[in-house]
Amino acid sequence: MFKWTYSEEINTEASAEQIWALWEDVATWPCWDKELELVELSGVFKAGAVGKMKLKKGPKVTFTLDKVIKNLCFSDYAKLPLTRMIFDHEYIGSTKSSSSNNRIRHTVNMSGLFAPLIWGHYWIEN
């Protein structure tokens, strides 16, 4: 089975509560994630909730919130044909006095038979 991982991390002055408010409001995800066209969630933002996301250059897929820890992290997953994608979102608060040392990390893990094709298509397009 093939597996691919990609992660990005940025520093932020935003508080955990400010970032959580953005994460919890799934309809606004396309404002900060350039790959998304539309995101909908059926119900409240908690583990087990199911939603739909439409990629700008791809199909509409169903996703499920997997792990949700308020003001800290959440993960969701989507099943594609013969491939599974897991998206992890983490807020890492600074232990230093300067709030600009807070970090946000987004990681995508893709595994399955079609992972190389999907991942390769992404890199060719970007």
For residue range 19-54, list pLDDT tens digits in order: 999 999 999 999 998 889 999 999 999 999 999 999
- 90 φψ region: left (φ > 0), alpha (ψ -120 to 50), beta (else): beta
pLDDT at 124 over 60: no
Check if the beta carbon of residue 31 is closer than 8 Å to that of residue 25: no
Enter the pTM of the model.
0.83
For residue range 72-88, list pLDDT tens digits in order: 999 999 988 888 889 99
Exposed e or buried b for every residue in 79-108, given b needs 16+ CB within 10 A? ebeebebbbbbbbbeeeeeeeeebebeeeb
Q: pLDDT averaged over the chain?
A: 87
Range 44-67 average pLDDT? 93
Please give the helix or strand (H or E) that residue 118 lies within, else none. helix 115-125
Q: How far apart are CA 39 and CA 87, in angstroms?
A: 14
Q: How far apart are CA 2 and CA 115, in angstroms?
A: 6
Q: How far apart are CA 65 and CA 67, in angstroms?
A: 6
Range 107-125 average pLDDT? 66
pLDDT at 106 over 90: yes
* CATH code at 3-125: 3.30.530.20
